[in-house]
């Protein structure tokens, strides 16, 4: 399991709530795997994690662009790498 770490708080309530929700879905997925849950349960946990991540990344990219954040392109690149990893899983 992955523990939440306040050092990654952004100070933006919606973003922090999303990040915590993502962590919860990741831990639920890990929990399902570690518990030896059936394929359907593991698959379901993975899909919930995946949807949570996809939704958040899309929202975050729009938010960063709307704010004119100078690191938007780099951050979007990091998201794309993450999505490739996720697709590989």
Which stretches of the chain bind Fe ion, using CB under 5 A? 60
CB-wise, 8 or 35, nearer to Fe ion?
A: 8
- HEC string for the chain: CCCCCHHHCCCCHHHHHHHHHHHHHHHHHHHHHHCCCCHHHHHHHHHHHHHHHHHHHHHHHHHHHHHCCCCHHHHHHHHHHHHHHHHHC
**In this chain, which residue has its C-beta nearest to Fe ion?**
60
Q: Smallest distance, Å, CB 84 to Fe ion?
A: 17
**Closest among 64, 81, 82 to 73, alpha carbons compared:** 64
CB-wise, 35 or 59, nearer to Fe ion?
A: 59
Q: Smallest distance, Å, CB 39 to Fe ion?
A: 29
CB-wise, 28 or 60, nearer to Fe ion?
A: 60
Q: Smallest distance, Å, CB 57 to Fe ion?
A: 7
């Amino acid at each position: 399991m992955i523990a939440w770490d306040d050092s990654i708080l952004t100070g933006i309530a919606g973003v922090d709530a999303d990040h915590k929700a993502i962590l919860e879905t990741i831990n639920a997925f890990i929990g399902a795997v570690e518990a030896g849950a059936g394929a359907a349960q593991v698959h379901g946990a993975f899909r919930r994690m995946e949807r949570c991540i996809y939704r958040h990344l899309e929202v975050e990219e729009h938010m960063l662009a709307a704010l004119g954040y100078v690191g938007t392109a780099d951050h979007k690149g990091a998201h794309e790498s993450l999505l490739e990893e996720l697709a590989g899983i």
